[in-house]
Structure 1
Amino acid sequence: MLINLWIAQGFIKPADKNGCLEDIANDYFMELLWRSFFQEAQTDELGDIDKCKMHDFMHDLAIEVSGSSFTTFDSENKPFDESKTHHVAIGDHIDSLSAVTMLFSKASMSLTEETLIAIFSSLKLLRTLDLHCTGIDVVPGSVSKSKHLRYLDLSGNSKIKKLPDSITRLQNLHTLRLRFCKQLEELPRDIKKFINLRHLEIDGCDCLTCMPRGLGQLTNLMTLSVFVVNSGGGGAGNSGGLDELNGLNSLREKLEIRGLVHGKDVASGYKAVNLKDKQHIHTLELKWTYKMGETEVDDEMQLEGLKPHSNLKKLSLEKFRGVRFPNNWLLSLTNLVSVRLESCKKLTYLPSLSQLTSLNSLTLMELDDLEYIEDSNMVSSSSSTPIAYFPSLKEMQFNRCPKLKGWCRRMDSLAKMMVTWMEDYPLLPSFPLLSKLTFEDCPMLTSIPTFPHLERLHLFSASWKPLQQTMMMNVASSPTPLSELKSLALTTIKDLRSLPEEGLRNLISIQYLSIDCCYRLETLFRGIQHLTALQTLGLLYCDELDLGKEDDWMQEQGLKSLHTLTIEGLPKLVSLPEGLRSLTSLQYLSINSCKRLETLSRGIKHLIALQTLKLRCCDELDLGKDDHWMQGKGLRASTL
């Protein structure tokens, strides 16, 4: 956005006719960043800078140098020199600003159609106009009077349904931002008249049903965040097909193609997209539509026509109907950093994703037929050290994969396939950099590799067995599995009855533990005393868990770092264990919806660090003498 504003104001000059303004501006930005004009740069997962701040001193200096050329004009109607003012941020009032070239409106303020007409009629020298989130529902035809306009931002105005045809007279327009104009139904029909348009941002315009014919003639276009394929609905007469993308080889950054269809005759249309020549696109999202009752077609061969350039870094496929990927389609994308596969219901076989050595994020969602991640052997009984597997992977997420059993299968005989079990091979492949892992609704999962550097793990509606196996493993390498785990959330684990003491010894780094809706959990056992780094513990809706019988481990003084304890929905809890007194660092205690809780333990009076005590929906609780003690500590409890 910043770079496009510089270009709109004419600050960037090409060194020659073939010079790319965006590249020159980016070089300027990096130079300023290196010189600390900009600071605290933050990057996205692809390494691109998406946030930064200006050094305070440089900001003050810029304000001083700009003098009267920049002003904020609001309801106080401050006087200013109209002949010198070129950059204005408006508040609630607009007057004569004929010399202004850059105008920013305060986000969330509401602009009427009359105000917009006044802007376009009066500010004929405007180059930059930012009207995002200003409650606009109609863009007046007089917008065409701002003939010098190069940058127009209408993002976040969710009531706009259509842009006036006259807007295409803005032949100097360089950037048009329409992000999250959620009711926008169509783009201008004569869009080809935007001969200088380089950036068209339409993320979040969910009501668009097609793209206008002639879009492909905008050969200078560098940003086209979304392309909507017409599936035969409204606007068919003026809509362009996938071939509109054929010559747009200057496109950069992200491209989402939405509305792809399943069928036998779509391969030629897919090929017309010419993705293989779009070397500057780093993020590609391909989304198919699926209509109930349509003929099932294997999309494998059709996908071949949508093969992207090998420079691609981020890939997302949604509702792809192939059983497998075409040969080498995915593995040829050697620069991939992120892969997301969602609602690919028929996908049964994945290529060997571990060969994507740059991959750091993998998300698999709603893959109904997938049983294994790898289809080949991924262990070696002869190796003396674990195999490095997914060498760059940092984050992995599996959601609603109902048939997922494990990580690989190997050929045991020509007729029999079997899972590789952990106990058969003590040296399983490890994920050397994986730090975040989520399993959600994967009930058939029986085995997982080791994660020596895992920091965050969430198990939701899955089996306890594979995690228990990992916790109990003793491998020759260091660190041991889960020894660097800092956060563990267990939700709706139906076969969890207890936490193994021996396994908990390995969790030496864990700081956050949440056990939620594990209805068969009966005991935490003494092993929890080994969690000496634990700071936050949540025990919620575990029907069989009775903390009143867990006195032994609490008296061991192991939870010396615990400062937050949440207890909720434990129907068997009648009294708190006396060992609670050992939690000398506890600052926050919340007890909610424990219907049978009758009394707090005497040990609670010894919680010298306690600052907050919350008691809610504990119908049988009688505070009795504890009420006087609580008042003395300045604590308040609600038993509603």
Structure 2
Amino acid sequence: MYKLLVQFWIAQGYIKQLIPSQSLQEIGFEYFNDLVDRSFFQEVGERFSREELTCKMNNLMHDLAESVAGMESSIVDLEGHASQVGENCRHISINPSLIPSLEGNMLRTLLHFPNMRIQILSDETWDLIIANGRRLRLLKLDDIDFKMIPRSIHKLKHLRYLDLSYNRGLKILPKGICNIPNLQVLKLDRCWELEELPKKIENLVNLTHLGCEDCNGLTHMPRGIGKLSSLETLSMFVVDKDGSHGGADLSELRGLNKLRGELRIRNLGFVKNAKERFKAANLKEKRHLRSLVLEWGFYFDDNDDDDKSLEDLQPHPNLKELCIQGWRGDAEFPSWISFLTNLVHIKIWGLGSKFKHLPSFAQFPCLQDLVICDLTELEYMDDNSPKGGQGEPQSFFPSLKYLCLRDCPNMKSWWRKRSIDDSNEDDTTVMAFPCLSLSFLFKD
């Protein structure tokens, strides 16, 4: 996948930043596109994610690359092969059980060799990695099922990329991780039992990517995270429900305006002094964000009389995807929605929502997916009556490809008529969905 490939290039120092305003990630994408244009990569296409590309090398290019790399790169999946790896090897993909067979300490890259068997990383193997990997820049040990990371990991001073994702039993991280001065990427995605991030995370001054997607065990974010001014990826921000963990509040998002990709904010229903904190998050200045997910959770703090208004969570108009989950506040939708004309995907759901009608999404020129679920109070999908000649198709969702309306039991009509004169309009006006290919309409 090209994003992963670019991060590998950055970790190895292959990408140089000539223009301060341009991120290394952006420069890396330009490199990738240039290689595609030159047929270095082939079969470039989407997989799983709308913005994730896969690719493979042309066979001739692959053979040439292997020839040029020589003994500096190796794949080890059999025990006999491990003993054949020379001291000049710099980049290796290996079955973790064979790591003890390696010799030499010149490695720059260590990836575990993927297979279908459960792999467990022993304490002894960890000790060998740290003892012999002092020059490591890239360490990828995802989905190996270890529960502890040794405190001595801080000895990997040159490490820039550390991937510990999918280690579902991992509960805590050693403080030593925050003493790896060059660390740029820390991936913890789907470490489901992870309870907290290290308290001194602000020491990772070079950190650009912090992945914690689906880390459902996280109870809060550490204070000081807002000092990571280089951060470009923060997949999830968790509000401390009752403040008992001394976690960061939303104001720490204020200066993180380099954030890209998706930002998911959880437990918004528990924010104290919500109006002040929502504004302090400064979402409208995060011009590079592609996706924003606002989650209130299944429980609301009813003891807080503050107005938790969506109006104070205004994002930047560049946003492409908006998801609102579990909002149970005002019946009115925020006014800023009309400015988000670049939206491609909209999802709104949540039992207990008070929305009685939604604003007009029909004229959004880029909107392709619209999902509305579990809005029990919803009566009208569009607050504006159609305009146009009698019986003529109404200009409607010019780019919409997927529409889902589910569990909206009180929905009366698509449009709400707003004046007495409107009541005389012909109700047979046809709605035109010129690009719609799939729709699901459910009503109990």
TM-score by length of 1: 0.64
Aligned equivalent of 1:82: 86
Q: Deviations over 1:19-69 (max 9, x none)?
A: 421111110001111222222222479963432222222222222221111
Percent identical pairs in the alignment equals 37
- 1:104 alignment partner, SS class: strand
SS at match of 2:393: coil
Distance 1:112 1:413 in 2: 75
Is the Cα–Cα contact under 8 Å of residues 379 and 425 in structure 1 kept in the other structure?
A: no
Unaligned runs of 5+ residues in structure 1 are: 444-640
* Maintained 8 Å contact 2:269/2:301: no
Cα deviation digits, residues 406-462 of structure 1 (max 9, x gap): 311324638xx9798xxx55441211111110123x13xxxxxxxxxxxxxxxxxxx
- Alignment partner for residue 103 of structure 1, among 110, 121, 133? 110
Could you tell me which amino acid in structure 1 is paired with residue 257 of structure 2?
N
1:145 and 2:155 correspond: yes
- Which residues of 2 match residues 591-606 of structure 1 at below 5 A? none
- 2:242 counterpart of 1:232: yes
2:98: which partner in 1? 93
SS in 1 for 2:278: helix
Q: Indicate whether 1:353 and 2:339 are aligned.
A: no
Q: Which residue of 1 aligns with 2:435?
A: 433
Distance apart, 1:14 and its partner CA: 1.7
Counterpart AA for 1:400? D
SS in 2 for 1:331: helix
| Aligned 8 A contact 2:391 2:428 in 1 | no
Mapping for residues 169-248 of structure 1, pairs under 5 Å: 169-232=179-242, 234-236=244-246, 239-248=247-256
Q: Structure 1: how far apart are the matches of 2:174 and 2:419?
A: 67
Deviations 1:280-301 (A, max 9, x none): 00100000134378269796x6
Instruction: Compare relative contact order (CA 8 Å, sep 6+) and give the higher one, 1 or 2.
Output: 2
Q: What is the letter of the counterpart of residue 139 of structure 1?
A: I
Rg (Cα) greater in structure: 1
1:385-464 superposed matches below 5 A = 385-411=392-418, 413=420, 425-440=427-442, 442-443=443-444
Residues 1:113 and 1:399: Cα distance change in structure 2 (over 3 Å): farther
Q: Secondary structure at the match of 1:232?
A: coil
How far has the Cα of 1:167 moved from its partner?
A: 1.1
Q: Structure 1 292/100 Cα, relative in aligned 2: closer, same or farther at 3 Å?
A: closer
**Residues 1:362 and 2:343 are matched in the alignment:** no
1:158·1:181 contact (CA, 8 Å) conserved in 2?
yes
The alignment partner of 2:125 has SS state of helix
**Structure 1 residues 387 and 292: alpha-carbon distance in aligned structure 2, compared to 1, 3 A threshold:** closer
Q: Per-residue CA shift, 1:178-203, capped at 9, x if unaligned?
A: 00000000000000110110000000
In 1, Cα distance between the equivalents of 2:176 and 2:271? 38
Structure 2 CA distance for partners of 1:45 and 1:297, relative to 1, 3 Å: farther
Find the aligned partners of 1:40 and 1:309 in 2 and give their Cα distance.
34
Residue 59 of structure 1 corresponds to 62
* Aligned 8 A contact 2:333 2:355 in 1: no
SS of the residue corresponding to residue 398 of structure 2 reads: coil
Deviates more, 1:287-296 or 1:424-433: 287-296
Whether contact under 8 Å (1:209, 1:233) holds in the other structure is no
Shift of residue 226, structure 1, vs aligned partner: 0.3
Matched residues, number = 433
Q: Pairwise mapping of residues 309-388 of structure 1 onto structure 2 (< 5 A)?
A: 309-326=316-333, 328-343=335-350, 345-378=353-386, 380=388, 382-383=389-390, 385-388=392-395
Give the secondary structure class of the aligned counterpart of 1:396.
strand
Cα distance 1:133–1:97, how it changes in 2: closer, same or farther (>3 A)? farther
**RMSD, matched Cα:** 2.4
Structure 2 unpaired stretches of 5+: none
Does the residue aligned with 1:103 lie in a helix, a strand or coil?
strand
8 Å CA contact 1:262–1:290 kept in 2: the answer is no
Please state whether the residue corresponding to 1:200 is helix, strand or coil: strand
Q: CA deviation at 1:231?
A: 1.2
Aligned residue among 70, 78, 82 for 2:73: 70
Contact 2:262–2:292 (CA under 8 A) maintained in structure 1: yes
Task: Return the alpha-carbon distance in structure 2 between the equivalents of residues 327 and 25 of structure 1.
Answer: 37
CA–CA distance in structure 2, aligned partners of residues 325 and 390 of structure 1: 22
* Rounded Cα–Cα distance in structure 1 between residues aligned with 2:372 and 2:242: 30
